[in-house]
Structure 1
């Protein structure tokens, strides 16, 4: 039985510092400086769906074939246990050589000195493989502490039957034509009038650690939550107020179910599968599950825009631990995993988005619902390096708690926008030590 992806809905999003190091960092090793023959053993810990684990096994097999005498031992664990295990192993001094980490968690490990600095272990032109957003997502202090393995971003998945019944017979066909916030509210209003009280126009996927997806609205308003130093809070702005006001309307106008709050234990996708909501924000990783689960005709369109387009930079990096037994071999494996062929095959099969600039430019096509690939690729291009950089700051794990607490109060606790902005600012300052 295939492992469902819905359990990961609250797990994925975003990335690292404003234009910190978008080109090759000084001091990178020249291309070809690594040993031509690698021999040794690596341990690699990850979680994953069936498709993702199959993809990692394929990468490992190809790496071992290309490097005779090398062994990579894959340790697959449930997501719920992943980071408690990693943390315990780091504290005990026996961490895996390589592991997989969401971009929003990356910063806490890199900032604590627990990851391997790859500056002298990667080819000089290595950063040129990736989009600026992706390369920004693995920086700490201007140095790379991982490789951007894949990404994902949220678009709007819709139930065509319910939209047609409300008189919404067309959806945007490009990011530039994406609904504005006002247009989205107009569409949601039509759905609200058409649907019974027990059903809702939409659901937002900001549950759990997915609360970072709320930041997409802040970015669309051209705002920030961290200043360029990644310490001072920057959410006290017109953009911050606009994002809070806009998202509060979802609840005040009954556009989303009451249990669609950030601390809800009900995933937004489940309300869409059950046709309780007509639209849902969701990532490409939902496609295989939706293809099997949704009993209605459905499609995808772009996330809305305000001042500009914007979205979450989800997905995961691959990192080596600071105490990796063979740093050069670990770096060689990370390099290999992001070769064009390896990344393309992984993303196509697992319904995830590439981080390599050439694959983004040339395009890929998912095995499941390949017709929707262009929607996700187009949405991913709306993410800026300055957006992804903030989410992978060393303080992000603490900031996530602040976002959960303050947005929950704003959405279902009756907290005013001004009090929410004040709470966010104070909490972010406390998280970063500003």
Structure 2
């Protein structure tokens, strides 16, 4: 069975055919001199089997295109990834290149631990990526990484459970996604039909996935940080609407009581067991679901209020400030975000591209390719102002604030106003550190 995101292993020995070698254009050193044609790069990452296969394929192609260059891949378990990176940075022995979630990127860039890629970037490289993805790797207007892929949550649904409640059609276009009111009516119909031990849906905000709660805030056209990325902005009508609506999931018994943000049970597992009719999930879950589930299921778009939105997930690739050969590191980052390597990586791993051309042309997932447009369409609803907040330098500390305050709102009985006040205080403290 394919590895899931919950089973991130540190090693895999998968062979892949090399990618087309036409993808290495866009980066240059000052004066447009080509990057060094010899040297060794150390690249540290975690990944599922499919992700590591994609990286190995890109590395093989990069080495063939650059005689004398070698890239040493160090695959580690996700649980060890950043303790390892942090220790190496402190000791002065970091890898040249590593992979980092967008919500962690800002911390490294803010501590001046990453390489400013400006001297090594072609001036037009920003046009390669979607605005939301490019915004996520900027610090003070300068790029300190490249957006490798993204992911966002859409709704996976159990077709027989919905049909039993009379729900036989779901939105097939982003612009037709359920509104919050329509989602409430769907949840109500399911609640009336389902036995007490089963639930209309479950949301994937457990653990660090609490950042996915922000989708509700963005759908209400709200912010949690002002444009300066330090001033709290959650105290707003949109903030109150997001807290009140998501709090109602528990009061209305639309979600299991053990599925709050501090739950140790993943939303996908609850859905797999058919305890919930729907779950929010990233595209990365599709291979595991296809291999595991024995019921008919599909995908549709997340709901909308003032606008459509989505959580901005996925990962960037960055070079450390101490990279032995900055130009070579930049050349590698360029290569792996070329059209062919990104297409193969995203297709094989069921992840979403950050290149505008691939978003426009579409990427067919290797598993359940008919669902690709749902996830790519959902990702298109993420705006630069959303991704920029998620990639802020204070995001790691803000995650803890979200966990604590939302847990009290969902299962502790805290009022909307108390929750907004607690979020405001916590965000202010997190951004002042």
Shorter chain as denominator, the TM-score bin is: over 0.9
Give the Cα–Cα distance (whole angstroms) in 2 for the partners of residues 73 and 3 of structure 1.
23
Q: Is the 8 A contact 1:181 1:305 kept in 2?
A: yes
Task: Quote the residue 1:228 is aligned against.
Answer: 227
Please state how far the C-alpha of 1:37 moved relative to its aligned partner: 4.8
Task: Name the structure 2 match of 1:344.
Answer: 343
Whole-Å Cα distance in 1 between the matches of residues 199 and 69 of structure 2? Answer: 54
Partner of 1:207: 206
**What's the counterpart of residue 115 of structure 2?**
116
- Kindly indicate whether the alpha-carbon contact (under 8 Å) linking 1:349 and 1:367 is maintained by their aligned counterparts in 2: yes
Distance in 1 between residues matched to 2:36 and 2:89, nearest whole Å? 29
Q: Does 1:5 align with 2:1?
A: no
- Alpha-carbon distance in 2 for matches of 1:119, 1:35: 15
Equivalence for 1:18: none
Q: Does 1:396 align with 2:380?
A: no
The alignment partner of 1:120 has SS state of helix
Aligned-residue offset at 1:433: 1.1
Asked if the contact 2:38–2:66 (Cα under 8 Å) also holds between the matched residues in 1, the reply is yes
Give 1:124 shift: 1.1
Classify 1:51/1:32 alpha carbon distance in 2 versus 1 (closer, same or farther; 3 Å): farther
What is the match of residue 150 of structure 1? 149
Task: State the 1:180 CA deviation.
Answer: 0.3
Residue-by-residue CA offset, 1:304-332 (whole Å, 9 max, x unaligned): 00000000111000000110111110000
Secondary structure at the residue paired with 2:82?
A: helix
CA distance in 2, matches of 1:180, 1:7: 34
Deviations 1:227-286 (A, max 9, x none): 000000000000000000000011001100011100100000000000000000000000
CA distance in 1, matches of 2:161, 2:200: 9
Cross-structure match for 2:334 = 335
| Residues in 1 aligned to 2:240 and 2:39: alpha-carbon distance in whole angstroms | 54
Match of 1:423 in 2: 422
**1:71 aligned residue:** 70
Structure 1 segments unaligned to the other structure (5+ residues): 9-27
Deviating runs (4+, > 4 A) in structure 1?
28-32
User: d(CA) in 1 for partners of 2:251 and 2:187?
Assistant: 13
Which residue in 1 is equivalent to 2:126?
A: 127
SS of 1:399's equivalent in the other structure is helix
Aligned 8 A contact 1:6 1:286 in 2? no
Distance 2:36 2:321 in 1: 22
Post-superposition shift, 1:38? 1.9
Between the aligned partners of 1:5 and 1:34, the Cα distance in structure 2 is 40
The 2-side partners of 1:403 and 1:4 are apart by 25
Q: Secondary structure at the match of 1:151?
A: strand
Contact 1:347 1:354 (8 Å CA) reproduced = yes
Q: 1:295 to 1:176 in 2, by over 3 A?
A: same
Cα distance between partner residues in 2 of 1:209 and 1:7: 16
Structural mapping, 1:280-429, within 5 Å = 280-429=279-428
Q: Distance in 2 between matches of 1:30 and 1:81?
A: 34
Shift of 1:6: 3.6
Q: State the TM-score, normalized to the length of structure 1.
A: 0.94
For 2:93 and 2:44, the matched residues in 1 are separated by 12
Q: Deviations over 1:147-176 (max 9, x none)?
A: 000000000000000000000110001111
Question: CA contact under 8 A between 2:4 and 2:285: conserved in structure 1?
Answer: no
1:32 deviates by 7.9
After superposition, the Cα gap between the structure-2 partners of 1:250 and 1:375, relative to the gap in structure 1 and judged at 3 Å, is same
Find out whether 1:248 has 2:247 as its counterpart: yes
- Alignment partners' CA distance in 1, 2:3 and 2:302: 27
Structure 2: how far apart are the matches of 1:322 and 1:37? Answer: 17
TM-score, scaled relative to structure 2: 0.94
Cα distance per residue 1:383-409 (max 9 Å; x no partner): 100011000000000000000000000
Q: Does the Cα contact within 8 Å between 1:34 and 1:328 map onto a contact in 2? A: no
Distance (whole Å) between structure 1 residues aligned to residue 107 and residue 89 of structure 2: 13
